[in-house]
Amino acid sequence: MDFSLSEELIAFRDLARDFAEKEIAPKLAEDDKAHRFRRELVEKMGELGFFGCLIPEEYGGNEAGFLASVIMCEEVGKVSAAHTLPFNMQAHGPAYTLLRWGTEEQKRKYIPALVEGKLIGGFAITEADTGSDVASMKTVAKKDGDYYILNGSKMWISNAHVADCMLVYAKTDPAAGARGISCFIVDANTPGYSARAIEDKLGIHCAPTGEIIFEDCRIPKEALVGQEGEGFKICMWQLDNTRLSCAARALGVAAACLKAAVQYANERTQFGQPIGRFQMIQDEIAQMAVEEEAARFLVYRAAWQKDRDPNVRNTKEVSMAKYYAAEVAVKAANEAMKIYGSYGYSEEYPVARYLRDAKSFQVVEGTSNIQKMIIAGSVLGYRK
């Protein structure tokens, strides 16, 4: 198997690297400190085609594929994990889900604008009392003539208070468990939709997170995505895609940690020599290097499988990539912190941010435990 990237993939990679280094990096420390989200960066990423890789040209995409998308995600992640969030909130989440499950009207209304970064998107599954146990969600969508009326709330939702539209999962038949969930595309300016920011979170400060409250939020019946009761199926399908870019984001952080650790290990001298000469530091560097490469293979393999056959459900491989990349990112950040000694504990270097940001990957899009449940269930033959 040839592991070298095509010229096209190299061009996408370089484009993303260039953008991250020139447009994100210069103000990153300041923005991270201020918890600042820059909408204009999402628009610029959209203009450059960052969100079009999974989308056909007729809806504004470039059809470059999953591998191109995860490579771009990884490159941006090497600079800032927070700024990779739009890959999921624009492309892998709402746009790609509407492409597969939406009506023609929904596709035309939302996909090009999401791809261009003109509409800010998101997806709302989690609630205050229900995270991993998606089927137990309590938000309801009650049919009322030509409308559905949404009531309930969603918690820990990326882009909650800055989004223009949101994929919302809610119960249309609360007694039916997972089969009672439906999916909707909801405009955030609909009366009855309100949101507040969660200001105090550990990391990914430039990526907004918040709570959405639905109070008699009346949405047209045309907002239904797929059929009534298909929401759980759509949600799991969506997670197969958004988890993969999440894995790529984590991979970017792991790579950034290794690079920072190598640089510091060569610069910092103690006992008359660079600390990189000490065997224990070499042990840490060796593990980080191997684990980063291994995570990359898992991420690229899952993306490659999807490009080979877009209808393939490679849930196990995606969960392997997501689980491993998230764990590796946290471990790499932890090791980098150790290598930096006191300076790792300061904000003078980015490694403290890497650790704060990396921790999110063990939680979002299904925790590491949930990924292990999926992997083990598949390996043991318990999952259909």
Ligand X SMILES: Cc1cc2nc3c(=O)[nH]c(=O)nc-3n(C[C@H](O)[C@H](O)[C@H](O)COP(=O)(O)OP(=O)(O)OC[C@H]3O[C@@H](n4cnc5c(N)ncnc54)[C@H](O)[C@@H]3O)c2cc1C
Q: What is the size of the binding site for ligand X (CB under 6 A)?
A: 21
- Range 220-239, binding ligand X (CB under 6 A): none
Q: Which listed residue (103, 190, 287, 367) binds ligand X by CB under 6 A?
A: 367
Using an 8 Å Cβ cutoff, are 83 and 44 in contact? no
Q: Provide the minimum distance between the beta carbon of 205 and ligand X in the complex, in angstroms, as a whole number.
A: 10
Cα gap 237→167, rounded to integer Å: 13
363 binds ligand X (CB under 6 A): yes
Q: What are phi and psi of 3, to 5 degrees?
A: -90, 0
Using CB under 6 A as the binding rule, whether residue 157 contacts ligand X is answered as yes
- Quick check: 150 binds ligand X (CB under 6 A)? no
Selected binder of ligand X within 52, 122, 231, 252 (CB under 6 A): 122
How far apart, in whole angstroms, are the C-alpha atoms of residue 343 and residue 346?
5
3-class SS at 310? coil
One character per residue 185-214, x = contact with ligand X (rule: CB under 6 A): -------------------x----x-----
Residue 118: count of CB within 10 angstroms of its CB: 15
* Smallest distance from ligand X to CB 5, Å: 30
Catalytic positions:
365
d(CA 281, CA 22): 32
| Residue closer to ligand X (CB basis): 49 or 122 | 122
Q: Cβ contacts of residue 293 below 8 Å, gap of 6+?
A: none
Residue 131 interacts with ligand X (CB under 6 A)? yes
Q: How many CB atoms lie within 10 A of CB 10?
A: 12
Which residue's C-beta sits nearest to ligand X? Answer: 131
Question: At closest approach, how far in Å is the CB of 209 from ligand X?
Answer: 5
Residue 123 binds ligand X, judged by CB under 6 A? yes
CA distances (Å), 233 to each of 38, 135, 198, 236, 245, in order? 33, 11, 29, 5, 19
- Which of 156, 184, 193, 300 touches ligand X (CB under 6 A)? 156
Binding stretches for ligand X (CB under 6 A) = 122-126, 131-132, 156-158, 204, 209, 360, 363-367, 369-370, 373
